[in-house]
Chain A
Amino acid sequence: SSELTQDPAVSVALGQTVRITCQGDSLRRNYASWYQKKPGQAPVLVISGKNNRPSGIPDRFSGSTSGNTASLTITGAQAEDEADYYCNSRDSSGNHRAIFGGGTKLTVL
C-alpha cells in the first residue's frame, strides 16, 4: 500500500504527554521516521528507525511501532513543540518509493 494516515490535529496541555500516530501497511515492513515542521522552516528529523533520536533532539521525543501503526510520543510537551509532524516510510513494494503521511498539527495548550 502507498498510504500513511495521520490524524489532522492533536492538542496537549503544556507538560503533558501526547502520542501522534501514523497508520499504513508499509509500516508492517518498514520503520517510520518522524519530522517536525514549523512555518517557514525546513523539516527536522526527530525520530528515525526503531527509536533513534538524531543529535540535538530532546529525549522527550520517542518512537514506537506496533503492527501497522507507528507512534511519536512527546513526554512533557513544551511550547516549542507546537508544530506539524509528518511520518514517512518507504512503501512496501520494495521500489524505494518514499511516502509521507498527511501531517498532524500539534497544538500545545
Chain B
Amino acid sequence: QLQLQESGPGLVKPSETLSLTCAVSGGSITSTTYYWGWIRQAPGKGLEWIGSIYYSGTTYYNPSLKSRVTISVDTSKDQFSLNLNSVTAADTAVYYCATDDIVRADFDYWGQGTLVTVSS
C-alpha cells in the first residue's frame, strides 16, 4: 500500500519561495504506473492541480502557475518536491501530494496534506 507524506515549513513570507517534499513509501517512485502530483486547496476553495512529475523528470504544470512552479524528483530518496516562488497570501492553502495514475488519469493515493500559510 503506497503511502505519501508531505513535509515542509508551515509559514512562508510573501515574495519568498514555498518548498515542500513528499516522501513515498510502500512502493518505488520509479514505478511506471504513476506520475507524482501536487494539488492544493485554499481555505473555502476547491481543489487545484499544481503539477505532476514522472520519475524520469518529465513535468507537467498548471498553466496558471507554470511561471512560478518547479517540481523535481529524487529517485534515490523516493521523494519529490514542490517549489513555488514569489508567493502571496493567495497561495495559502493545504498542499497535498498524490499519485497521478498514468492510464486511469486519477489521483488514488494522497498524503494527509500540509497547511502552508503565507504571511509576514
A contact set with B: CB distance below 8 Å: 30-31, 33, 35, 37, 42-45, 48-49, 52, 54, 86, 88-90, 95-103
Q: Decide yes or no whether B63 CB sits under 8 A from chain A.
A: yes
20 further interface pairs, Cβ-Cβ under 8 Å (given A89-B105, A96-B52): A33-B105, A33-B106, A37-B41, A42-B110, A42-B112, A43-B96, A45-B106, A45-B108, A48-B108, A52-B104, A54-B108, A86-B46, A86-B47, A88-B47, A88-B107, A90-B105, A98-B100, A99-B49, A100-B47, A103-B46
Residue of A at shortest CB range from B101? A48
B contact set with A: CB distance below 8 Å: 35, 37, 39, 41, 46-49, 52, 60, 62-63, 96, 100-101, 104-108, 110-113
B46 near A101 with CB under 8 A, answer: yes
A43 near B60 with CB under 8 A, answer: no
Give, as a whole number of angstroms, the nearest-CB distance from B14 to chain A.
Answer: 26
Q: For the complex, give the distance between the alpha carbons of A103 and B46 in Å.
A: 6
Give, as a whole number of angstroms, the nearest-CB distance from B114 to chain A.
Answer: 11
Q: For the complex, give the distance between the alpha carbons of A49 and B111 in Å.
A: 22
User: What are 23 sample pairs from A and B whose C-beta atoms fall under 8 A apart?
Assistant: A33-B107, A37-B47, A42-B96, A42-B110, A42-B113, A43-B96, A43-B110, A48-B101, A48-B104, A48-B106, A86-B46, A88-B47, A96-B35, A96-B52, A97-B49, A98-B52, A98-B100, A99-B49, A100-B39, A100-B46, A100-B49, A103-B46, A103-B47
A35 near B107 with CB under 8 A, answer: yes
- CB neighbours (8 Å) of B49 from chain A are 88, 97-100
Taking each of A31, A35, A86, A98, which has the highest tally of chain B beta carbons within 10 Å of its own beta carbon? A98
- CB neighbours (8 Å) of B60 from chain A are 95-97
B104 near A49 with CB under 8 A, answer: yes
B46 near A98 with CB under 8 A, answer: no
- CB neighbours (8 Å) of B37 from chain A are 98
Residue of B at shortest CB range from A52? B104
Taking each of A42, A48, A88, A101, which has the highest tally of chain B beta carbons within 10 Å of its own beta carbon? A42
